[in-house]
Amino acid sequence: MSLDNVKTRVDVYEYIRLEFDKLVWDNAQQYNAAWFEIHNTAGKKLVEIAQCDWDKEAGYGLQLTAYQHLIEGRIEGAEQKLEAFLDELDSKEESKSLAERIRFEAFTNNAERVAKTPESFAAFTTELKQWINKVAHSYHAVSQGMLVALRTGQNLEQFAIELVEFVQSEQCTLPASEKERMAAMINESATRYQFYGFTGEVLNDKVLNNGEHTPENFAVFKAELKQWMDQVNLELINGISIVEVMNLGLGIAECNNVSAEQFVDEFVEYVSSESPLPTAEKAYVTAAWEKSLRTALGSDPKLFGRMVDGKKFDWKSLRGKYVLINFAFANHDHNKRGLWEVYNQYHDKGLVIVSVFLDAFGDDPIARVKQYVENEQIPWLVISDAQTTLEGQRTLLQRVSRRLAGSADRQRSGEGKLAAYYYFSGNTAPVILVDKEGKIIMTNAMVNSMSDRLNAKLAEIFE
């Protein structure tokens, strides 16, 4: 698509998609440079053709994204280009606030690289407090501050105490109503990043890399994980997500040769009998744990649905074949390139690929999926969630409150529920590999450019 043909905001995003489809790169630097050119060009065009203030904001936002990738890619002259862009934004009343936002992003990005000594982190904290004083940046300042503190090895609990004391002092210029909210936000953010620290410590040191898969270590891990699960926050704004807890737990259970079913049964029993979670949270957590078994190692996913032509998908007909299942959204399938690599290399050897497009909302999702499949000329099997109901099956989420089960606009006509709600407890949609007996033998088999792990497994099977 030529920029001359770009007339609306929708055209701009279609231009970005098409340009990325043509993109080829050999390293991260080339990728970031290309990202910059595409988004910067698209952003300028959107500002130029803006039909409302929202269009302009979106256009400047695209340029912001472009400069972030320029800086992160350490492209020569990036900082000078950013300063020139900021000067341009400062000269216009409509974009001054965006310039300030970019300066904040630059501050936090730089802080992670330099705030590694007690002195430099103290200097970072002093400047961070000034950003907290600006209501527009308060939440983001706290979140980014916690991330920097985590990555530079600071004590998050002590850091949170210092920030709360500042917020409650006269030095903080936030309104009184904002101060109370901000103090709570700081503590919640500290909890979330402490959990990130725990997961990183487990994955990178205690359990995986050192191979310390002893019953004693596994028991300690489970005890700590239960403590984190007791802090699950259904709002999922600053609290710990049950999906994060489940993903970590199932992964470590696999490392310790414990079946997913056995591991889930233990945690469901704990939630029912010992956990201090309120009743609503208990119901949600229990449903989420049980639902996780549907895409766990060794399980039969019992994939269901309607194909794009409306015909019923027959899961049992694929017995005797290896199947790679990819859950995605039309126009936002990050695994597209990898799927083509897998298809071209292994389809003729017997591998079956099934894409499940989860599009179900917005303007005519059925037509959107059909158009995407046609445009991309996808040769493998495709299930359209927009055409699918569970046809009599009740999801576990239907056992909990209506709010948790999904609002009315998320429900299909009739009693069915979407495949997305049947298989997933959050935004996690794993790519899974299934053996000839219909059992899952690999989860999270990310295929963007075909991961080494998946490639090795498929080579073992077919070569």
CATH code for the domain in which residue 315 is found: 3.40.30.10
Query: Residue 432's beta-bridge partner residues?
Result: 325
Assess if residue 274 is contained within a domain.
Answer: yes
In sequence order, what DSSP letters do the residues of 210-231 get, joined into one string? T----HHHHHHHHHHHHHHHTT
Q: Which residue has the higher pLDDT, 359 or 239?
A: 359
Domain boundary among 230, 262, 295: 295
Pair (282, 340) in one structural domain: no
Q: What is the mean pLDDT of the chain?
A: 78
Establish if 301 belongs to a structural domain.
no
Would residue 198 count as lying in a domain? Answer: no
Same domain, 287 and 429: no
Is the pLDDT assigned to residue 362 strictly greater than 70?
Answer: no
- Considering only 133-137, 228-232, 341-345, which range has the smallest mean pLDDT? 133-137
Regarding whether 41 and 95 lie in a shared domain, the answer is yes
Note whether residue 197 is domain-resident: no
For 274, the domain range is 207-295
Using DSSP's 3-state secondary structure scheme, residue 6 falls into coil
Boundary (domain end) residue, out of 246, 274, 295: 295
The secondary structure of residue 240, as a DSSP letter, is B
Q: Which pLDDT does position 461 carry in this prediction? A: 93
Q: What is the largest CA-CA distance in the chain?
A: 70
Tell whether 347 and 374 lie within a shared domain: yes
- The answer to whether residues 147 and 220 belong to one domain is no
Task: Identify the residue whose tokens are 């696999």.
Answer: 254
Same domain, 288 and 433: no
> Which range, 24-33, 77-86, 428-437, is most confident?
428-437
Judgement on whether residues 350 and 390 belong to the same structural domain of the protein: yes
Task: Order the strands of the 432-434 sheet from edge to edge.
Answer: 306-307, 381-384, 352-357, 323-328, 432-434, 440-442
Distance from the Cα of residue 127 to its chain's centroid: 30
Judge whether residue 251 has pLDDT over 80. no
Mean pLDDT (whole number) for 125-133? 88
Q: How far apart are the C-alpha atoms of 42 and 31, rounded to whole Å?
A: 16
- What confidence tier does 168 reach under pLDDT thresholds 50, 70, 90? very high
Taking phi over 0 as left and psi of -120 to 50 as alpha, with beta for the rest, 204 belongs to alpha
Q: Is residue 105 part of a domain?
A: yes
Residue 144 lies in a domain: yes
342 — pLDDT class (breaks 50, 70, 90): very high
Give the total number of structural domains in the chain. 3
Q: What is the pLDDT of residue 402?
A: 31
Q: Please tell me whether residue 202 adopts helix, strand or coil conformation.
A: helix
For residue 85, with 0-12 CB atoms within 10 Å meaning exposed, 13-18 middle and 19 or more buried, which class applies? buried
| Mean pLDDT in residue range 51-78 | 74
Same domain, 42 and 155: yes
> How far apart (Å, rounded) are the C-alpha atoms in residues 252 and 462?
28
Listed residues 126, 153, 187: the one ending a domain? 187
84, 182: one domain: yes
Whether residue 345 is found in the same domain as residue 449: yes
Between vectors from CA 271 to CA 268 and to CA 275, what angle results, nearest 5°?
A: 160
Instruction: Please check whether residue 196 lies inside any domain of the structure.
Output: no
What's residue 320's pLDDT?
96
**Which of 41-50, 91-100, 152-161 has the weakest average pLDDT?**
91-100
Q: What is the pLDDT of residue 191?
A: 85
Q: E strands of 204-300, at which residues?
A: none
- 193: closest CA among 134, 148, 232, 229? 148
Closest by alpha carbon to 126, among 140, 139, 115, 136? 115
Q: Based on the fold, state whether residues 275 and 314 are members of the same structural domain.
A: no
Q: What is the Cα–Cα distance from 123 to 148, expressed in whole angstroms?
A: 13
74 backbone φψ class: left, alpha, beta (φ>0; ψ -120 to 50)? left
The verdict on pTM exceeding 0.85 is no
Task: Render pLDDT for 379-403 as a digit per residue (tens, 0 to 9).
Answer: 999 998 878 754 433 333 333 323 3
pLDDT at 318 over 90: yes
Q: Evaluate whether residue 200 is within a structural domain.
A: no
For residues 35 and 128, state if they share a domain. Answer: yes
